[in-house]
Structure 1
């Protein structure tokens, strides 16, 4: 029974902290663009560079 005197207030603090953290992240724009990063991975160009382009990047 004595454990409840600690666990109930502790759980209330954890819940309020979680709600505050979620609201703070959502106001900061954390969840604005959920689709863009996934599409960028799909559209990534994995083809190797042509030899002309790599030769132009080499130092003289």
Structure 2
């Protein structure tokens, strides 16, 4: 997992919201990554670049 990726907590377990920086978003293939993560996690995946739309504080994912 690249540095700077966070998970926004959700009330339900049927979706995962990942927060990435604008620079990372510009370099990724969002559609294919979203499809791959949806299949891997078995839930709806959202990749967002702006945390201001969420009340929940993002939780940084550990980097490898």
TM-score, length-normalised on structure 2? 0.21
Q: Which has the higher helix share?
A: 1
Structure number, greater radius of gyration? 1
Structure with larger RCO (C-alpha < 8 A, sep 6+):
2
TM-score, length-normalised on structure 1? 0.21
